[in-house]
């Protein structure tokens, strides 16, 4: 019984005795009036016993409380240890570095026991010196002392850890005593199977010494540190072993595969990946059947490999196969496949080793040996000479090539066919190379028996005997007369136009570069004339391509006649010609004048009649001129400038001359700059939709049209007439159109449940957007994504878009119409309107273009056109919407002739959605 428990007994007995005496005294005084000691015995005895009972209960509660706290401490400690173990296992599974794991252990220890600080010192693998691997909560001076320990002090510290002695009792460690407060530090060895790995240093923060409880925690840290160290070193050893094994496997030039018992590919070397194109293919852990599904090109190869594997498993021994497999260039390679099965002790399949060797060359060599007998009698001329240059044998092809009979060749010297075009030095160099390399090839001129000189491709190969001495020479003669003629023609085709025999673009750029270099040197100006024939397509369409070709030939001839001898005329293609004028003048003004004179001469000459296929034809050119001086611009830039000037000539009415002006380039660059800004506009959110109301003849809201707007941070509001055509040209209209359609659907979704829920919204669709094969699916997907009824959108198409591919248009409109969408034909009357297609299209309304509406009451022709459009729509059962209505007079005229809806500034400008909605609510 503890002193505290004994005190509880005394306290409760004293209290009970006191209460008993008081009770007995009061009993006698109140009831008996006299004092009798006999009356004290029973009350006092009862209260003393009751006090003993209370004391026993109190002691029992104290004991239970202590046991409960002890159990809580034990459970908490076990949980902490389990958490610590789990953390180490997780870090090991994640392959965390060893210092990270050890640092985590010490951090968790110090968090658990803040009165402790700790460090782990590990033996270096090279010199067996102690190095600090992790430290937590330790005094900086002690860390410095640990780092500065010499080899004797380190050995003493290790010995101290083994004996678990007090630090101050160990000689040689006096350097640490200043920072450890005597016995405030203890060491625990980290070792396994008598193999030392290091030690754990535990220090008490207050110098009172490390308790047994602290050492218990230290033992836990040591065990987990030992686990981490063992795992880390095991992984290092395994990594080293794998590295050595990989190096061994990779050093083998043959392709090596390891498969498991189920036929799954586990390991391959680089040679295998290269031979079988596995670099970018996921093969590991997959079987031949699975890879055959993903690589249909090699399906049969994988299926044959699977069948071969089954044979090997059944035979249970090494088997050799031959297999063909294409390489990266598509060439078929032949491999010798050596397959060895490996079984478990109980006979189960364990693995299969496959070694594949490329025997393509070996088989080719064998094949060469088989055909060597007939090779000599091939179509190429061949002869064999001995080491002294005496001809021993000549084949039939050589005899036919040279005109000699075999008996006239055999026995002669190898110089029999020399033509005399090559000097002695040429042949001396040839034989020097043969002596050094054993091989020579090149083009030479030979002489036939008739005396005719002809080119041959000569190949001479030296043959060595087993002792490495030159014994024979084999010469092959290929007559390259036809090839050289073909090369001449190919050169001509590569640099000249096949139709007109003028230089082509490639040769022109080369000559232009040379002209610019010359201009840089002599300071003379030159000029580039870009010539395009006006309405050339019309000639091809009306009289055929033969007439067009005849015209191009005649134009080429006339251009040659108009220029000087050292100028160049080239054809770029189609009806485009370029004239390069060199050395015009030192002064730019005079050079421009000369270029203009030559251009006018060309203009006049090309305007003269042509006689094509017995018919007279008149043609005119548009000429763009760009001067150059030195190498200030590139060749391509000069061509571009002349091209721009030519387009200016066409814009001026054709059959004229225009010089390049920097403003042309500025216009092109401005257009390019706007295109760059437009690409960014969609990404940074500069595009938006504005909405313009459509009003019926009763003055009620009929619908609205979503109009695309671009607010540029520097340009301000950019007109749609500027950026939409640019988007059409650059194909940006696809992404912009899809964004606009999605934004319109999102707006309709926001209006759901409001007063605008039933209002249809018209959306303009571009030609490129509509021509996408999946356009119908795009619209359906967006409607489903935003949970919109198809009747809420109305797709606006233009006449030019509709007529581009009428059958495709009708089919897409039909599919969307069946889905519930409606269609409006925009800008009706401005294109090639046709009743033939109009009656076939599943339209809902026609939109009268604002160009007709603006002149109502001013131009009687426009009045008639508007009445005709309304009458046509009424007869076809279509609604009509008039655009650009700005006056009461226009609206009254349209209403009086049956127009069903109006849109324009009279009823409101296009507004952002919030302003648009507020405007509708205010009436």
Helix (H, G, I), strand (E, B) or coil at 691: strand
pLDDT at residue 620 tops 70: yes
Q: What tens digit of pLDDT does each residue of 61-71 get?
A: 777 777 777 77
Average pLDDT over residues 813-825: 92
Of 359-363, 402-406, 674-678, 804-808, highest mean pLDDT = 402-406
90-125 burial, b if ≥16 CB within 10 A, otherwise e? Answer: ebbeeebebeebbbbbbebbbebbeebbbbbbbbee
Does residue 763 or residue 290 have the better pLDDT? 763
Backbone dihedral region of 614: left (phi > 0), alpha (psi from -120 to 50 degrees) or beta? left
Q: Scanning the structure block, which residue is given the tokens 């994504």?
A: 785
Tell me: the pLDDT tens digits for 727-760? Answer: 887 778 889 999 999 999 999 999 998 888 889 9
Q: Would you state the pLDDT for residue 378?
A: 67
Beta bridge partners of 132: 121
pLDDT at 687 over 50: yes
Rounded to the nearest 10 degrees, the angle between the axes of helix 505-522 and helix 481-495 is: 70
Using only C-alpha atoms, the chain has a radius of gyration, in whole angstroms, of 51
Inform me whether the pLDDT recorded for 183 exceeds 50.
no
Q: Over the chain, what is the mean pLDDT?
A: 82
SS (H, E, C) 105-135: HHHHHHHHCCCEEEEEEEECCCCCCEEEEEE
Are residues 708 and 725 in contact, defined by beta-carbon separation less than 8 angstroms?
A: no
442 pLDDT above the threshold of 80? yes
The listed range with the strongest mean pLDDT (226-230, 294-298, 667-671, 804-808) is 226-230
**Hey, what are 835's tokens?**
């009743």
Closest CA to 273 of 222, 338, 327, 309: 327
Nearest to 41 by CA among 24, 29, 26: 24
Q: Are 694 and 701 in contact (CB under 8 A)?
A: yes
Question: Cα(41)–Cα(21) distance, rounded to whole angstroms?
Answer: 9
Question: Residue 414 and residue 698: Cα distance in Å, rounded?
Answer: 109
Of 163-172, 377-386, 456-465, least confident by mean pLDDT is 163-172
| CA–CA distance, 146 with 136 (Å, rounded to integer) | 14
Dihedral sign computed on CA atoms, order 636, 641, 645, 651: positive
Instruction: Say which range, 426-435, 485-494, 508-517, has the weakest mean pLDDT.
Output: 485-494
Tokens 């001995």 correspond to what residue? 386
SS3 (DSSP) at 346: coil
- Answer for the pair 321, 339: CB distance below 8 angstroms, yes or no: yes
Stronger pLDDT, 327 or 485, i.e. the higher one = 485
Q: Decide if pLDDT at 24 tops 80.
A: no
- pLDDT value at 182 more than 50: no
For residue 737, CA distances in Å to 106, 687, 918 come to: 62, 11, 27
At 546-564, the pLDDT tens digits run: 888 999 999 999 999 999 8
Q: What is the DSSP string of 477-544?
A: EEE-HHHHHHHHHHHHHHHB-TTT--B-HHHHHHHHHHHHHHHHHH--EEEEEEEEETTHHHHHHHH-
CA distances from 669 to 96, 397, 529, 625, 666 (A): 57, 65, 22, 19, 5
* Residue listed under structure tokens 């005229």: 893
Per the DSSP assignment, residues forming a β-bridge with 259 are 265, 352
Residues 650-660: b if buried by 16+ CB within 10 A, e if exposed: eeeeebbbbbb
Please list, residue by residue across 247-278, b when 16 or more beta carbons sit within 10 angstroms of its beta carbon and e when fewer do: eebeeeebbbbbbeeebebeebbebbeebbeb
Model confidence pLDDT, tens digit, residues 248-284: 667 677 888 878 888 887 778 777 777 777 777 777 7
Say if CB 597 and CB 625 are below 8 A apart: no
Q: Evaluate if residue 531 carries a pLDDT over 90.
A: yes
How many C-beta atoms lie closer than 10 Å to residue 624's C-beta? 26
Q: Which two tokens stand for residue 575?
A: 């009806």
Q: 769 vs 80, which has greater pLDDT?
A: 769
- Tell me what the mean pLDDT of segment 832-838 comes to: 65
User: Does the pLDDT at position 178 exceed 60?
Assistant: no
Q: Which residues pair with 386 in a beta bridge?
A: 472
Interacting residues of 708 by C-beta distance below 8 A, sequence separation 6+ = 687, 688, 689, 720, 724, 736, 740, 764
Q: What is the pLDDT of residues 717-726, one digit of tens each?
A: 988 888 888 8
Q: What's the pLDDT at 533?
A: 92
Q: How many CB atoms lie within 10 A of CB 838?
A: 18
Neighbours of 139 (CB within 10 A): 14
Sheet containing strand 657-659, strands side by side = 568-573, 576-585, 525-533, 621-628, 657-659
Q: How far is CA 112 from CA 76, 105, 221, 716, in A?
A: 10, 11, 12, 66
pLDDT at 2 over 60: yes
- Mean pLDDT, residues 66-92: 78
What is the pLDDT at residue 141? 75
What mean pLDDT do residues 642-662 have?
A: 86
∠25-27-31 over CA atoms, to 5°? 130
For position 390, what pLDDT does the model report? 92
Q: How many residues does the chain have?
A: 923
Query: How many other C-beta atoms are found inside a 10 Å radius of the C-beta of residue 134?
Result: 21
Confidence class for position 831, pLDDT limits 50, 70, 90: low
Question: What is each CA distance from 94 to 90, 101, 229, in whole angstroms?
Answer: 6, 11, 15
* Dihedral angle, C-alpha 912, 915, 917, 918, nearest 10 °: 180
Query: Does position 209 have pLDDT exceeding 50, yes or no?
Result: yes
Rounded CA-CA distance 442/425 in Å is 15
Q: What is the pLDDT of residue 31?
A: 59
For the cut 50, the answer to whether the pLDDT of residue 602 exceeds it is: yes
Please give the structure tokens belonging to residue 376. 């000599």
Which pair of structure tokens corresponds to residue 580?
Answer: 């390069």
| pLDDT mean over 916-922 | 82
Nearest Cα residue to 515 out of 633, 365, 417? 633
CA dist 653 and 651 (Å) reads: 5
**pLDDT of amino acid 127:** 60
pLDDT at 665: 52
- Average pLDDT on 560-574 reads 91
Strands (E), 713-784: 716-718, 761-764
Dist CA 814 CA 776 (whole Å): 10
Which tens digit of pLDDT belongs to each residue from 881-892? 999 999 999 999
Distances (CA, A) of 498 to 138, 503, 568, 573: 89, 9, 17, 10
Alpha helices in 685-731 (DSSP H): 720-730
pLDDT digits 0-9 by tens, 354-389: 888 888 787 777 766 566 555 566 678 888 899 888
Mean pLDDT of 103-109: 86
Going 817 to 822 to 827 to 828, the CA torsion angle's sign is positive
> Is the separation of the CB atoms in 259 and 354 below 8 Å?
yes
Label each residue of 463-495 as H, E or C.
EECCCCCEEEEEEEEEECHHHHHHHHHHHHHHH
Q: Which of 412, 398, 479 is nearest to 444 (CA)?
A: 479
**Please, which pLDDT band fits residue 579 given cuts at 50, 70 and 90?**
very high
Q: What long-range pairs does 421-428 form, CB within 8 A, spacing at least 24?
A: 421/445, 421/453
pLDDT above 50: residue 834:
yes
Flag whether pLDDT at 52 surpasses 80. Answer: no
The residue assigned the tokens 């060309």 is 602
Tell me how many helices (H) and strands (E) the chain has.
32, 30
pLDDT: which is higher, 919 or 910: 910
pLDDT at position 801: 75
pLDDT of residue 375: 59
Range ranked top by mean pLDDT from 124-138, 376-390, 685-699, 792-806: 685-699
DSSP run (H or E) holding 880: strand 879-882
């Amino acid at each position: 019984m503890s002193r505290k428990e004994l005190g509880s007994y005394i306290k409760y007995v004293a209290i009970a005795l006191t209460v008993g005496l008081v009770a007995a005294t009061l009993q006698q005084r109140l009831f008996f009036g006299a004092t009798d000691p006999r009356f004290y015995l029973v009350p006092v005895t009862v209260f003393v016993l009751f006090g003993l009972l209370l004391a026993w209960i109190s002691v029992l509660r104290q004991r239970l409380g202590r046991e409960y706290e002890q159990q809580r401490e034990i459970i908490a400690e076990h949980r902490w240890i389990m958490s610590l173990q789990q953390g180490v296992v997780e870090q090991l599974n994640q392959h965390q570095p060893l210092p990270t794991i050890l640092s985590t252990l010490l951090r968790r220890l110090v968090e658990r026991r803040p009165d402790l600080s700790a460090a782990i010192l590990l033996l270096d693998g090279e010199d067996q010196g102690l190095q600090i691997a992790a430290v937590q909560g330790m005094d900086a001076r002690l860390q410095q002392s640990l780092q500065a320990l010499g080899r004797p002090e380190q050995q003493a510290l290790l010995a101290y850890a083994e004996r678990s002695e007090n630090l101050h009792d160990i000689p040689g460690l006096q350097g640490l005593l200043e920072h450890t407060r005597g016995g405030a530090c203890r060491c625990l060895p980290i070792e396994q199977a008598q193999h030392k790995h290091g030690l754990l240093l535990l220090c008490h923060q207050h110098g009172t010494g490390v308790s047994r409880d602290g050492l218990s925690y230290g033992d836990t840290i040591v065990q987990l540190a030992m686990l981490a160290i063992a795992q880390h070193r095991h992984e290092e050893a395994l990594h080293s072993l794998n590295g050595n094994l990989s190096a061994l496997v990779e050093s083998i030039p043959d392709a090596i595969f390891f498969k498991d018992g189920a036929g799954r590919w586990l390991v391959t070397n680089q040679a295998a990946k290269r031979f079988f194109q596995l670099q970018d293919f996921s093969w590991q852990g997959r079987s031949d059947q699975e890879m055959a599904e993903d690589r249909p090109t090699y399906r049969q190869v994988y299926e044959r490999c699977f069948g071969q594997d089954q044979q090997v498993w059944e035979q249970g021994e090494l088997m050799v196969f031959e297999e063909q497999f294409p390489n990266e260039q598509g060439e078929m390679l032949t491999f010798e496949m050596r397959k060895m099965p490996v079984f478990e002790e109980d006979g189960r399949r364990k693995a299969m080793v496959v070694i594949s060797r490329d025997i393509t060359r070996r088989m080719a060599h064998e094949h060469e040996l088989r055909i060597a007998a007939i090779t000599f009698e091939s179509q190429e001329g061949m002869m064999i000479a001995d080491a002294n240059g005496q001809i021993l044998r000549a084949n039939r092809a050589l005899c036919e090539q040279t005109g000699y009979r075999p008996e006239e060749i055999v026995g002669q010297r190898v110089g029999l066919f020399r033509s005399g075009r090559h000097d002695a030095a040429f042949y001396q160099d040839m034989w020097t190379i043969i002596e050094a390399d054993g091989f020579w090839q090149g083009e030479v001129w030979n002489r036939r028996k008739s005396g005719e000189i002809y080119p041959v491709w000569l190949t001479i190969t030296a043959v060595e005997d087993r002792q490495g001495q030159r014994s024979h020479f084999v010469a092959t003669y290929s007559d390259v007369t036809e090839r050289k003629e073909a090369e001449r023609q190919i050169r001509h085709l590569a640099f000249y136009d096949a139709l007109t025999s003028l230089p082509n673009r490639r040769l022109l750029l080369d000559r232009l570069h040379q002209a610019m270099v010359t201009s840089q040197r002599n300071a003379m100006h030159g000029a580039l004339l870009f010539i395009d024939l006006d309405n050339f397509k019309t000639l091809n369409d009306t009289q055929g391509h033969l007439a067009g070709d005849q015209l191009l030939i005649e134009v080429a001839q006339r251009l040659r006649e108009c220029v000087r001898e050292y100028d160049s005329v080239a054809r770029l293609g189609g009806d485009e010609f370029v004239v390069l004028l060199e050395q015009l003048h030192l002064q730019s003004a005079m050079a421009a004048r000369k270029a203009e004179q030559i251009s006018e001469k060309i203009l006049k000459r090309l305007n003269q009649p042509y006689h094509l296929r017995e018919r007279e034809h008149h043609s005119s050119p548009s000429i763009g001129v760009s001067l150059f001086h030195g190498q200030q611009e590139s060749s391509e830039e000069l061509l571009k400038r002349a091209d721009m000037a030519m387009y200016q000539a066409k814009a001026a009415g054709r059959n004229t001359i225009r010089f390049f002006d920097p403003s042309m380039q500025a216009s092109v660059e401005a257009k390019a700059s706007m295109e760059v800004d437009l690409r960014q506009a969609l990404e940074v959110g500069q595009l938006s939709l504005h909405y313009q109301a459509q009003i019926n003849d009763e003055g009620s809201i009929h619908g609205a049209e979503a109009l695309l707007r671009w607010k540029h941070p520097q340009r301000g509001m950019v007109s749609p007439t500027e950026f939409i055509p640019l988007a059409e040209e650059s194909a940006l209209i696809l992404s912009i159109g899809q964004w606009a359609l999605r934004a319109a659907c999102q707006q309709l979704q926001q209006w759901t449940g409001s007063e605008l829920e039933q209002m249809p919204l018209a959306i303009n669709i571009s030609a490129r957007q509509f021509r996408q094969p999946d356009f119908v699916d795009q619209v359906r997907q967006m409607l489903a994504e935003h949970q919109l009824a198809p009747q809420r959108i109305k797709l606006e198409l233009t006449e030019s878009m509709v007529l581009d591919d009428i059958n495709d248009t009708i089919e897409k409109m039909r599919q969307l119409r069946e889905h519930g969408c409606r269609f409006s034909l925009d800008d009706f009357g401005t294109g090639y309107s046709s009743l033939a297609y109009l009656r076939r299209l599943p339209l809902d309304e026609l939109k009268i273009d604002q160009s007709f509406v603006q002149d109502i009451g001013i131009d009687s022709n426009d009045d008639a056109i508007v009445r005709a459009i309304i009458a046509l729509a009424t007869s076809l059962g279509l609604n009509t919407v008039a655009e650009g209505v700005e006056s009461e007079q226009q609206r009254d005229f349209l209403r009086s002739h049956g127009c069903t809806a109006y849109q324009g500034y009279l009823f409101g400008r296009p507004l952002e959605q919030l302003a648009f909605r507020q405007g509708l609510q205010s009436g």
